Amino acid sequence: MKIMKSMAFMALIFSVLFTGCKPKDADIKTAVEKSISAVPSLAGTTVEVKEGVVSLSGQLPDETAKSLAETTAKAVKGVKSVVNNLSIAAPITIAVDEVLTKSVKDAVKDYPTVVAAINDGVVLLTGEIKKDALPKLMMALSSLKPKKIENKLTVK
Amino acid sequence: MALQDKYKQLTDAAINGGITDLQVREQDGVLYVDGTAANGAVKDQLWDVYNTIDPNFVSGDLVLNVNVSIDAAVTKVKVITQSSNLNIRKGPGTDQPIVGKAAHDEVITLVNRSNEQWWLVRTNDGEEGYCYAQYLAPEA
């Protein structure tokens, strides 16, 4: 009986300890997220906190942003250490107009009712297309590294 | 971040669909999603999600570039035109002269995929030239 009682007491202590810990990590998480969201270049950072250790993950544009996220997180009160699992996104490559014009011409060749115009990486589509052919055309154009596809096609 | 929220269902589907080398980046009001799908079905599913979020792709705020990974060992491709013959050209481009044709549903030899849009192929008659890759499906 005595053992049972002390075990119940221990369990009570543990539950108090654990519930005591939880809000703290949650508070740190909120504080770190707040600091990080104040910096626009750090958008895309995911924050996890376990026993005061902050783990950062996600994708940022460059190394500067990656280390800035780490220093920003470290500066938050209650943070013991920071595990930086952020990765760097590859730069967006846009095809030059000369290359894009040629590749778009190849892609729309089999859609005689579609007209494509290229201007500074933007593919402007006019004319008309059948609904079931549209995804295929968009798939082909999206792989040609355009800056943007402006679809003004009439879908029939 | 607004665009990432708009297309969250798409990027979630990409993660769940096991897209490798997934890159999601936003620049000048356009979201660029790049990656490699294990097969055509996964790619089609992502395009279905895209079409649901932005019906008929009219917003012009997403460039979804998902390629289907192809085993390096693949040497045979099937012609998947609607019904017509597929032009085989001297070089990679529709401005190049036509050197031969491959029939709809015909299985031909894949020589080289160094150009993403134009694959170098050889017909069963030994004609060699470039075909538009969208009309070729790798044979398992």
Q: How far apart are CA B39 and CA B58, in angstroms?
A: 26
Residue of B nearest to A152 (CA): B58
* CATH 2.30.30.40, chain B: domain bounds: 76-138
Rounded to 10°, the helix A97-108/A134-142 angle is 150
pLDDT over 60 (residue A62):
yes
Of A16-25, A49-58, A116-125, B12-21, minimum mean pLDDT range = A16-25
Give residue A74's pLDDT.
95
Residue B130: list chain A partners with CB under 8 A: none
Tens digit of pLDDT for each residue in A104-117? 999 999 999 999 99
Interface test with B, best of A109, A138, A153 (most B CBs within 10 A): A138
pLDDT, mean over chain B: 93
Give residue A40's pLDDT.
86
Instruction: Give the domain B2-68 fold.
Output: Alpha-Beta Plaits (3.30.70)
Higher pLDDT, B76 or A3: B76
Give residue A89's pLDDT.
83
Rounded mean pLDDT, B125-136: 94
* CATH 3.30.70.1770, chain B: domain bounds: 2-68
**Residues 6+ positions from A4 with CB-CB distance below 8 Å:** none
Q: How far apart are CA A33 and CA A28, in angstroms?
A: 8
Domains of chain A: 2-88 (3.30.1340.30), 97-155 (3.30.1340.30)
Give residue B1's pLDDT.
55
Residue B116: list chain A partners with CB under 8 A: 143
Q: State CA B91 to chain mean position distance.
A: 19
Alpha helix segments (H runs only) across A38-96: 63-74
Give residue B82's pLDDT.
87
User: What class is the B76-138 domain?
Assistant: mainly beta
* Number of Cβ atoms within 10 Å of the Cβ of B113: 17
Residue A156: list chain B partners with CB under 8 A: none
Give the pair of three-digit tokens for residue B74.
């693949």
Give residue A11's pLDDT.
66
Give the pair of three-digit tokens for residue A87.
């990765």
Residue from the list B34, B57, B95 with its beta carbon closest to the beta carbon of A151 = B57
pLDDT over 70 (residue A142):
yes
Q: Are strands A122-129 and B20-27 parallel, antiparallel or unpaired?
A: unpaired
Listed by number, the residues of chain B in 63-122 with a beta carbon closer than 8 Å to a beta carbon of chain A are: 63-65, 67, 93-95, 116-118
pLDDT over 80 (residue A81):
yes
Alpha helix segments (H runs only) across chain A: 2-37, 63-74, 97-108, 134-142
Residue B1: list chain A partners with CB under 8 A: 43-44
Interface test with B, best of A149, A150, A152, A156 (most B CBs within 10 A): A149
Q: How confident is the model at residue A16 (pLDDT cuts 50, 70, 90)?
A: low
DSSP state of B135: G
Interface test with A, best of B26, B27, B28, B30 (most A CBs within 10 A): B30
Give residue B12's pLDDT.
95
pLDDT over 90 (residue B88):
yes
Residue A103: list chain B partners with CB under 8 A: 117
Asked if B52 has any chain A CB less than 8 Å from its own CB, the reply is no
Rounded mean pLDDT, A119-138: 96
Q: How far apart are CA B140 and CA B135, in angstroms?
A: 16
Enter the ipTM: 0.88
Q: How far apart are CA A54 and CA B46, in angstroms?
A: 33
Give residue B122's pLDDT.
96
Listed by number, the residues of chain A in 48-77 with a beta carbon closer than 8 Å to a beta carbon of chain B are: 59, 61
High-pLDDT (> 70) share of chain B, %: 99
Residue from the list A89, A148, A151 with its beta carbon closest to the beta carbon of B30 = A148
Cβ <8 Å between B116 and A149: no
pLDDT over 90 (residue A60):
no
Give residue B6's pLDDT.
96
Higher pLDDT, A100 or A59: A100
Distance from CA of A71 to the nearest CA of B (A): 22
Interface test with B, best of A45, A126, A148 (most B CBs within 10 A): A148
Tens digit of pLDDT for each residue in A89-103? 888 999 999 999 999
Give residue B140's pLDDT.
72
